[in-house]
Amino acid sequence: MENILITDRLDLFATSIPCGNMRGLSINAQRYVLVHSKNDRWYLVKEECPHSGAKLQAGAVNDQHELVCPMHAYAFSLHDGREARGRCADLWVVKLWVSGNELWWKD
């Protein structure tokens, strides 16, 4: 996979997506959710919950750095995608890289 520049205006993203929030976006015709964790890290997750397919951008980020699905409140680690109680398959998640004012998805 090639490296993909998510934005070269990270300052604007940080303003419009404050810590603890997320936003949907498309990359190469695939839908993802860009997550800004409460500890100021950036993650990309697949748009659909691995449990039953709910759209995760309507979810929430908790203080344990988990993404909580809006449908059944399963909680997925932003570090490794595991559901907190192992109730379903892992969430696909990648940690993004910050370089200056750029945000990258690097292989």
Q: Which residues contact 103 (CB under 8 A, 6 or more apart)?
A: 5, 6, 7, 10, 13, 42, 96, 97
Alpha helices in 1-107 (DSSP H): 10-16
* Nearest to ligand FES of 87, 106 (CB atom): 87
* Nearest to ligand FES of 6, 67 (CB atom): 67
* Nearest to ligand FES of 22, 49 (CB atom): 49
* Nearest to ligand FES of 9, 72 (CB atom): 72
Q: Which residues contact 23 (CB under 8 A, 6 or more apart)?
A: 16, 17, 33, 34, 57
Is 16 buried (19+), middle (13-18) or exposed (0-12) by CB count in 10 A?
exposed
Least Å distance between CB 93 and ligand FES? 14
Size of the site for ligand FES (CB under 6 A): 8
Least Å distance between CB 69 and ligand FES? 3
Site string for ligand FES, 48-87 (x = CB under 6 A): -x-xx-x--------------x-xx-x-------------
DSSP SS3 for 91: coil
Least Å distance between CB 54 and ligand FES? 4
